[in-house]
Amino acid sequence: MSESHEIDERLFLRSVARAFAVLEVWSAEPRALSLGEIAKAAGIDKSAAQRICQTLVGLGYLERAPGGLVPGKRALDRAFDYLRITPLIERAAPVLATLRETCGERVDLSLFDGTTILYALRLQSRREAFFATLPGRRLPAFCTSGGRACMALMSDAAVDRLLSRSDLVARTRKTLTDPAAVLEKVREAREQGYACVMEETLLGEVVVAAPVTDSAGRPVAAVHIAGTLAEWSEAEFRRRFAPHAIAAADALSG
Amino acid sequence: MSESHEIDERLFLRSVARAFAVLEVWSAEPRALSLGEIAKAAGIDKSAAQRICQTLVGLGYLERAPGGLVPGKRALDRAFDYLRITPLIERAAPVLATLRETCGERVDLSLFDGTTILYALRLQSRREAFFATLPGRRLPAFCTSGGRACMALMSDAAVDRLLSRSDLVARTRKTLTDPAAVLEKVREAREQGYACVMEETLLGEVVVAAPVTDSAGRPVAAVHIAGTLAEWSEAEFRRRFAPHAIAAADALSG
DNA sequence: CCCGACGGTATCGGCCTGCGATACGCTCGA
DNA sequence: TCGAGCGTATCGCAGGCCGATACCGTCGGG
């Protein structure tokens, strides 16, 4: 995913890393897990798993449940800290609310992180029952509208590097997995100022997205507007909503 | 806050606990922090803070920012794991969406945790711009509608214990801080099946809440409906929305 | 019925890892 | 020109963590 910058291993705390490796087990296996399962999935022995889990339960980051252990409520506190401290989130909330009212479709703010995007704010549309539309969801950048919008602000070489580090696996039968094809879409987004993705993460879904930059002009996030092909044609959706996405993203940039 | 169950200290990993102590520093000091500040706030020396922060940056749980370090995006992934695994959240999402449509006011699902409640799902009303209405926010149980609704399902003795462990500090000039007065409100909630709190956490705000139980009948969460006194009288708000809160909470219980 | 596999729990000696004192170069503002 | 911060880097000692091992339940199958 994102290895940040090769950390000096002399200052690396193995026990801390193993504790987080334990917490991360549930992202691949979302159910109550036993000590043995945790140990195997995290690549540690049962003794270490025992010590780590006891500690994490004591701290509230894991909870005992019928059938084993599950993530604890403390995880929500840490996420809240992140959302509260990040100025972009605070600025984006009212902008997205307005956008949602104007457009009537689902609008999202996603954060650009390495080879992925991460939904931070999501305002569902009235008609769509939100299921699995929770903040914190992470998707690959290469096949999402927000990801491509962000890539559009990078050089072709940087886009190539990102794509080469990505796991280019198709999520639907329409997902583009050829790096050259993705790059072509990124170039189109660069020219238009927004990206449009059709059914590449969810069949029947059309999404336009515009990039949000930091003060140095680097892409850090994207504003998405998502609709369904049951109600819109691609051309009509682009024409109608792309300008709004761009305007909102601009308001949040810099 | 919630010490769960006194953990065997022979199996307690000090280095892991210190790493989380570092992460938790930002909940009291929501801004970019330097190593020295982190060390002082977490009660460790600068060397330990250096090693822990290097490790957490490498793992993505902290990020470098102008002026110091801030929480990292990985926190959102862990919160997502929690929300995805907890069956109550999944069941609650469509119920709250319907409730939001029916009532037109802000509706929340809060989780009952020790002496506090924790907002897990929040659907803002159309007219209110949401600011600081993020999931993950934690409030004391004693002065919130959801907290009192949950306490109503406990024995008086258990409520007393909870109140004695709580920090009974007023949030507004209307907050009840006398344990006996709070207990009286809890008894009222026990009789009525829901709690109503007026301006005790936010001036001008009225909230009704009903408790959600697990299969053993223990309170685990609450459904809130919140409005403003600019639009509603207490009596009218209770009459109109309490039945909906109770119905939704019942649907999620057991 | 007894066994083996699995659950969680507990113990312990030894080694390696994390500890914390210390020092360095840098950028501020006084 | 300081001194107080900042982040960074080093290093020997000590003791905290490691992981093998064992224990006691509860299953379900042979």
Residue B15's nearest nucleotide, by CA–C1', is: C18
Say whether residue A129 is in contact with chain B using an 8 A CB cutoff: yes
Residue nearest to nucleotide C21 (CA to C1'): B47
Q: Which range is most confident: A91-95, A176-180, B11-15?
A: A176-180
**CATH code that applies to domain B9-75:** 1.10.10.10
Residue B93's pLDDT band (cuts 50, 70, 90)? confident
CATH homologous superfamily, domain A86-252: GAF domain (3.30.450.40)
pLDDT at A101 over 90: no
Q: Which range among A5-19, B63-77, B90-104, B191-205 shows the weakest confidence by mean pLDDT?
A: A5-19
> How far B187 CA lies from chain A's nearest CA (Å)?
28
B67 to chain A, any CB pair closer than 8 A? The answer is no
- Select the residue of B1, B13, B71 nearest A81 (Cβ to Cβ): B71
pLDDT at site A12: 86
pLDDT band for position A165 (50/70/90)? very high
Residues A26-42, mean pLDDT to the nearest whole number: 94
Q: What is the pLDDT of residue A219?
A: 97
- Of the listed ranges A181-195, B89-103, B142-156, the least confidently predicted one is B89-103
Nucleotide nearest to B53 (CA to C1'): D7
Does the distance separating the beta carbons of B138 and A77 come in below 8 Å?
A: yes
Cβ separation B11–A51 shorter than 8 A: yes
Instruction: Kindly determine whether residue B54 and residue A80, on different chains, have CB atoms separated by under 8 Å.
Output: no
Q: Which residues in chain B are classed under CATH 3.30.450.40?
A: 86-252
A35: phi then psi, degrees, rounded to nearest 5: -55, -45
- Reported as a single tens digit per residue, the pLDDT across B15-43 is 999 999 999 999 999 999 999 999 999 99
CATH 1.10.10.10 residue window(s) in chain A = 9-73
Average pLDDT over residues B80-100: 91
Decide if pLDDT at B155 tops 70. Answer: yes
Report, as an integer, the average pLDDT of B121-130: 69
Test mutation, B2, B10, B55, chain A, max A CBs within 10 A: B55
Inter-chain CB proximity B83 and A136 less than 8 Å: yes
Flag the least confident range among A19-28, A55-64, B1-10.
B1-10
**Position with higher pLDDT, A94 vs A7:** A94
Q: Determine the pLDDT at residue A123.
A: 81
Contact indicator for B101, A116 with CB cutoff of 8 Å: no
Hey, is the C-beta of B170 within 8 angstroms of any chain A C-beta? no
Q: What pLDDT, on the 0 to 100 scale, is given for residue B12?
A: 86
Mean pLDDT, chain B, integer: 92
Sorting pLDDT into bands at 50, 70 and 90, what band is A3?
A: very low
What per-residue confidence (pLDDT) applies to B90?
Answer: 85
Residue B132: pLDDT above 70? no
* pLDDT, average across residues A161-179: 97
Task: Estimate in Å the CA A221 to C1' D5 gap, whole number.
Answer: 33
- Position A1 confidence tier, pLDDT thresholds 50, 70, 90: very low
pLDDT band, residue B128 (cuts 50/70/90): low
Which residues of chain B are within 8 Å of residue A23 when distances are taken between CB atoms? Answer: 78, 81
What pLDDT does A94 receive?
87
Residues 29-48 (A) with a CB less than 8 A from some CB of B: 30-32
Specify the pLDDT at position B4. Answer: 39
**In chain A, which residues have their Cβ closer than 8 Å to the Cβ of B134?**
80, 83-84, 89
Mean pLDDT of B38-57: 93
Q: Which residues of A touch B32 (CB under 8 A)?
A: 85
Q: Is the pLDDT of residue B6 over 60?
A: no
CATH number of the domain at A9-73, please? Answer: 1.10.10.10
